[in-house]
């Protein structure tokens, strides 16, 4: 009795391969679209940064900046906004750990300051980058500010990392100064730590307020790189589709030849049996 013929597309192997192909192909396309979207967002951000660079500073006290404990901080609205401010320094320092500048590992130091006009409003003002020492039990010595200051600067905030943004603070107090080593610039957790109304946005001086360098990198990856990655993902999706199509075509060709061979062999057997 002849075995019933089962078409290839009716087999479990075919459907398993089909599902895997669709999943991989769609994932590659989605990654390409995501990078393209990120590239478009970075183009808008880069244009905004270029315009902000030409704007005159705005009084910091006149801005309705969100507080740190609010979730929506509208990154593109405030990033690199030029500001001027009259602030009163407070003896509270934060050392942002694991920062690198020109190959040197160290800290980005920030000092808490109070607005002269809005006495309950605090800001973190960047003092700058300082090199770290070999002894992790102490923090490097820093020249702090103690008298009221008038400064020109720009706003920024650190984007949340997908790997986490917990503060992980360690306290190193001196006689007159509270000092904290932190792993992430999480202003919401800093606000809770010091129990103060802290702005979500940090002020980076652009004048000669301090002698320390101020690294400026508002965009971690520019639009060109995002578009480049998008092209790579789309190329991989295209190559994957071509390879799978070629493999399917060759497999179909092989099965057709094998099927024809079986039919010829069966036909010969039928003829020989009739002659007998």
Residue 196 lies in a domain: yes
pLDDT value of position 52: 86
Q: Is residue 264 part of a domain?
A: no
**In the prediction, which pLDDT does 256 show?**
63
- 269 part of a folded domain: no
pLDDT digits (tens, 9 = 90+) for 208-266: 899 999 999 877 677 888 899 999 999 999 999 998 888 877 777 766 665 655 556 65
77 pLDDT tier (thresholds 50, 70, 90): confident
Residue 151 has pLDDT above 80, yes or no: yes
Which range of residues forms the domain containing residue 184?
48-219
CA distance 257 to 190: 72
Residue 258 lies in a domain: no
User: Do 9 and 178 contact (CB within 8 A), yes or no?
Assistant: no
Look at residue 206 and give its three-state secondary structure: coil
Taking only the tens place, the pLDDT of each residue in 117-147 is: 887 899 999 999 999 988 889 999 999 999 9
Q: Has residue 10 been placed in a domain?
A: no
| Contact criterion met (CB below 8 Å) for 115 and 197 | no
Residue 54, classed as helix, strand or coil, is: coil
User: Does some domain include residue 265?
Assistant: no
More confident residue, 81 or 4: 81
Out of 8-12, 27-31, 271-275, give the one with best mean pLDDT. Answer: 27-31
Query: How many structural domains compose the chain?
Result: 1
Does 213 map to a domain? yes
């Amino acid at each position: 009795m002849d075995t019933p013929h089962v078409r290839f597309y009716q087999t479990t192997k075919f459907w398993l391969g089909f599902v895997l192909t669709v999943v991989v192909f769609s994932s590659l396309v989605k990654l390409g679209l995501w990078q393209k979207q990120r590239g478009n967002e970075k183009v808008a951000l880069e244009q905004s940064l270029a315009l902000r660079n030409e704007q005159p500073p705005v009084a910091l006290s006149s801005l309705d900046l969100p507080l740190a404990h609010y979730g929506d901080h509208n990154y593109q609205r405030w990033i690199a906004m030029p500001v001027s401010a009259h602030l009163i320094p407070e003896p509270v320092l934060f050392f942002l750990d694991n920062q690198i500048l020109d190959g040197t590992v160290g800290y980005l130091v920030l000092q808490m300051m109070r607005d002269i006009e809005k006495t309950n409003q605090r800001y973190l003002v960047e003092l700058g980058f300082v090199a770290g020492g070999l002894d992790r039990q102490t923090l490097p010595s820093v020249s702090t500010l103690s008298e009221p200051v008038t400064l020109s600067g720009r706003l920024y905030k650190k984007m949340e990392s997908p790997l986490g943004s917990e503060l992980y603070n360690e306290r190193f107090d001196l006689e007159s100064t509270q000092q904290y080593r932190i792993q992430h610039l999480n202003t919401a957790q800093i606000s809770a730590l010091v129990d103060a109304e802290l702005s979500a946005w940090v002020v980076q001086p652009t004048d000669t307020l301090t002698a320390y360098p101020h690294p400026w990198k508002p965009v971690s990856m520019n639009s060109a790189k995002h578009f480049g990655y998008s092209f790579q993902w789309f190329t991989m999706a295209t190559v994957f589709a071509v390879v799978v199509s070629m493999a399917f075509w060759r497999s179909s060709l092989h099965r057709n030849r094998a099927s024809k061979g079986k039919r010829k062999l069966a036909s010969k057997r039928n003829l020989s049996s009739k002659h007998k």
